[in-house]
Amino acid sequence: MKVKGKISEIFQSLQGEGLYLGERQLFVRFFGCNLSCDFCDTKLESFRVYNPEELLAEIERDMNGFHSISFTGGEPLLQKDFLREILVLTRKKGYRNYLETNGTHPESLEEVIDNLDIIAMDLKFPSSTGMDNFWDIHHRFLKIASLKEVFLKAVVSEATSEKDLREGIKLIKEIDKDLVLVLQPNSLEDYSRIKEKIESFRDICLSEDINSCIIPQMHKLIGIK
């Protein structure tokens, strides 16, 4: 039986986060997530079911002049079998595959990584998410992800602790100290209340010889999807 996937939406926009800020992408948003972060602002309530060929047809209808296809969510790796199939099809068409992921499914990543080009991986600081830590899982995930182009994003909120930042720095150093860590202000909070902390976090990264930058969710600031 042919594998099918649950897709919440397909849309064109500019990438609003991370190192590819401003690039034109086609976004394919997968339904469902295994986490419930305190700062989450993506509420997925509906989906359409596709088989891989149907989704490819939708992608090809819109795919013109885009930097890449952003497979986002939710968490795309929850549907690894379907994701693997669509990545094979888009790669055969010569498209660049960009995965946005919460970094908690290393075994699933291992099954799809051959057809990925760029991985935007979250570091889920427990003091930011309000959940347990994922350091061991993140370590395994990043080790696999580092086989391809990868960068890290971490949300910084009023609750985020320096202890978590330093744990993240330790993880980066263990895998590849040249990776870039994007510090992302929590968009649900007033930036003026986070500014001093996030700038101090950037300075800590600098002192530890870790590449970091502060990039807010620009798509929200300029009012695009």
Q: How many whole angstroms from its chain centre is CA 167? A: 19
Q: Which residues of 26-51 are buried (b: 16+ CB within 10 A; e: fewer)?
A: bbbbbbebeeebebeeeeeeebeebe
| Strand runs labelled E in the chain | 5-14, 24-30, 48-50, 68-72, 97-101, 118-122, 149-156, 180-185, 211-214
pTM over 0.75: yes
Three-class secondary structure of residue 120 per DSSP: strand
Question: How do the domains of the chain map onto residue ranges?
Answer: 5-221
The pLDDT tens digits for 121-134 are 999 999 999 989 99
Average pLDDT, stretch 151-180? 97
Place of tokens 């992800």: 145
pLDDT in tens, 11-39: 999 999 999 999 999 999 999 998 888 77
Where does 5-221 sit in CATH, by number? 3.20.20.70
Is a pLDDT exceeding 80 seen at residue 60? yes
Radius of gyration (C-alpha) of the chain in whole angstroms: 17
